[in-house]
């Protein structure tokens, strides 16, 4: 019985190290429309685990009162999931949702991420542009 309890404790402790050991990195996010105008400001908090799976959360706000309603739908906050393959990163800001998805696809360096963002519905891409995210 003592061996079983020690084994269970060891497994639980190892799981905590694996889940708690992933370092969170905060990025300051800027989203631009197709004309290059700044339309979204925010924060991405990312954790990459040993299998290159990404988890975290996000919080985006409109950058100006003149931002159109389609872009406003790509703001808010929530949990995110994604993957890293080499320098490429793909993030889903509304995991588990079939409609109203915000997706980010970019290239990572040691200090930032840059790429494209898109707000997708059942009909496909509704609005999008480029983004930059710099380590805080």
Q: Where are the chain's structural domains?
A: 23-135
pLDDT digits (tens, 9 = 90+) for 60-75: 999 988 898 889 989 9
Q: Where are the alpha helices (DSSP H) in 1-136?
A: 2-20, 69-72
> Is the confidence at residue 18, as pLDDT, over 80?
no
- Backbone φ and ψ of 92, nearest 5°: -110, 115
- Report the predicted TM-score, pTM, of the whole model to 2 decimal places: 0.82
pLDDT band at 3 (very low <50, low <70, confident <90, very high): very low
CATH of 23-135, one of 1.10.8.50, 1.10.10.60, 2.40.128.120, 1.10.238.10: 2.40.128.120
CA pair distance 62, 73, nearest whole angstrom: 10
pLDDT digits (tens, 9 = 90+) for 23-81: 899 999 999 999 999 999 999 999 999 999 999 999 999 998 889 888 998 999 999 99
Cross-strand bridge partners of residue 45: 26, 57
């Amino acid at each position: 019985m003592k061996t079983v309890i020690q084994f269970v404790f060891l497994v639980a402790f190892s799981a905590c190290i694996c889940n708690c050991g992933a370092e969170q990195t905060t990025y300051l996010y800027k989203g631009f429309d197709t004309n290059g105008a700044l339309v979204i400001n925010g924060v991405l908090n990312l954790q990459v685990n040993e299998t290159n799976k990404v988890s975290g959360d996000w919080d985006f706000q409109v950058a100006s009162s003149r931002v159109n309603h389609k872009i406003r739908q790509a703001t808010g906050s929530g949990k995110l999931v994604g993957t890293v393959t080499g320098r490429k990163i793909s993030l889903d800001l509304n995991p588990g949702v079939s409609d109203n998805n915000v997706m980010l696809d970019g290239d990572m360096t040691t200090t930032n991420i840059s790429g494209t963002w898109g707000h997708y519905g059942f009909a496909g891409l509704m609005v999008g542009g480029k983004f930059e995210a710099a380590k805080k």
